[in-house]
Amino acid sequence: MNKVSMTIDGIKLYVPENYTILQAAKEVNINIPTLCFLKNLNEIGCCRMCIVEVKGARALQAACVHPVSEGMEVFTHTPAVMEARKVNLELILSNHNSRCQTCTRSWMDCELQALANKLSVDMVRFEGEQKKLPLDIGTSIVRDPNKCILCRRCVSVCKNIQTVGVIDVVNRGFNTQVASPFGISLSETPCVNCGQCINYCPVGALHEKSDVDKVWEAIHDPSKHVVVQTAPAVRVALGEDFEMNIGTPVTGKMVTALRMLGFDKVFDTDTGADLTIMEEGAELIDRIRGGGKLPLITSCSPGWIKFCEHNYPDMLGHLSSCKSPHQMFGAVLKTYYAERNDIDPKDIVVVSIMPCTAKKFEANRPEMQVDGLADVDIVLTTRELGKMIYDIGIEFPDLGDSDFDNPFGNASGAGAIFGATGGVMEAALRTVSDILTGSSADNFEYEDVRGLEGIKITNVKIGDLNVRAAVAHGLGNARKLMDAIKTGEKFHFVEIMACPGGCVNGGGQPLQLSDVRNWIDVRAERAKGLYKEDRNMYIRKSHNNPTVKRLYKDFLGMAGGSKSHQLLHTHYTPRTNYDD
- At which of 43, 66, 92 does a domain end? 92
Catalytic annotation, pick one of 53, 208, 280, 495: 280
Q: What is the pLDDT of residue 580?
A: 37
Q: What is the pLDDT of residue 108?
A: 66
pLDDT band at 443 (very low <50, low <70, confident <90, very high): confident
| Inter-residue contact 208 to 198 (CB < 8 Å) | yes
Domain-located, residue 34: yes
Q: What is the pLDDT of residue 579?
A: 42
| Mean pLDDT, range 47-70, rounded to an integer | 95
Are 558 and 431 contained in the same domain? yes
Catalytic annotation, pick one of 323, 359, 360, 456: 359
Catalytic annotation, pick one of 334, 352, 503, 514: 503
Are 341 and 390 contained in the same domain? yes
Mean pLDDT, all residues of the chain: 94
Are 163 and 217 contained in the same domain? no
- At which of 208, 233, 262 does a domain end? 208
The whole-angstrom distance between residue 518's C-alpha and the CA centroid of its chain comes to: 17
Catalytic annotation, pick one of 180, 299, 301, 320: 320
| Inter-residue contact 511 to 109 (CB < 8 Å) | yes
Are 549 and 499 contained in the same domain? yes
The span from the CA of 413 to the CA of 536, in Å, is 8
Q: Is 280 a catalytic residue?
A: yes
Checking if the pLDDT of 99 tops 90, the result is: no
DSSP-based three-state secondary structure for 51: strand
Catalytic annotation, pick one of 300, 322, 356, 499: 300
Q: What is the pLDDT of residue 295?
A: 96
The model scores a pTM over 0.75: yes
DSSP-based three-state secondary structure for 74: strand
- What would the pLDDT profile of 384-426 be if each residue is shown by its tens digit? 999 999 999 999 999 999 999 988 878 999 999 999 999 999 9
Checking if the pLDDT of 319 tops 60, the result is: yes
Q: Is 283 a catalytic residue?
A: yes
Are 178 and 324 contained in the same domain? no
Kindly report the CATH number assigned to the domain that includes residue 69.
Answer: 3.10.20.740
Q: Is 320 a catalytic residue?
A: yes
Catalytic annotation, pick one of 208, 240, 309, 362: 362
Domain-located, residue 442: yes
- What would the pLDDT profile of 280-295 be if each residue is shown by its tens digit? 999 999 999 888 899 9
Give the range of the structural domain holding residue 298, as residue numbers without chain letter.
Answer: 213-568
Q: Is 70 a catalytic residue?
A: no
Q: Is 64 a catalytic residue?
A: no
Q: Which of 506, 580, 574 is nearest to 305 (CA)?
A: 574
Q: Is 367 a catalytic residue?
A: yes
Domain-located, residue 573: no
Cβ atoms within 10 Å of 36's Cβ, excluding its own: 24
Q: What is the pLDDT of residue 578?
A: 55
Q: Phi and psi at residue 311, in whole multiples of 5°? A: -105, -25
Kindly report the CATH number assigned to the domain that includes residue 160.
Answer: 3.30.70.20
Are 252 and 179 contained in the same domain? no
Catalytic annotation, pick one of 53, 111, 283, 495: 283
Catalytic annotation, pick one of 367, 439, 440, 553: 367
User: Directed axis angle between helix 251-261 and helix 382-391, to 10°?
Assistant: 60
Long-range contacts of 319-323 (CB under 8 A, 24+ apart): 319/572, 320/280, 320/283, 320/296, 321/283, 321/565, 321/569, 321/570, 321/571, 322/276, 322/279, 322/280, 322/283, 322/568, 322/569, 322/570, 323/276, 323/299, 323/368, 323/375, 323/568, 323/569, 323/570
How many folded domains does the chain comprise?
A: 3
pLDDT band at 128 (very low <50, low <70, confident <90, very high): confident
Q: Is 495 a catalytic residue?
A: no
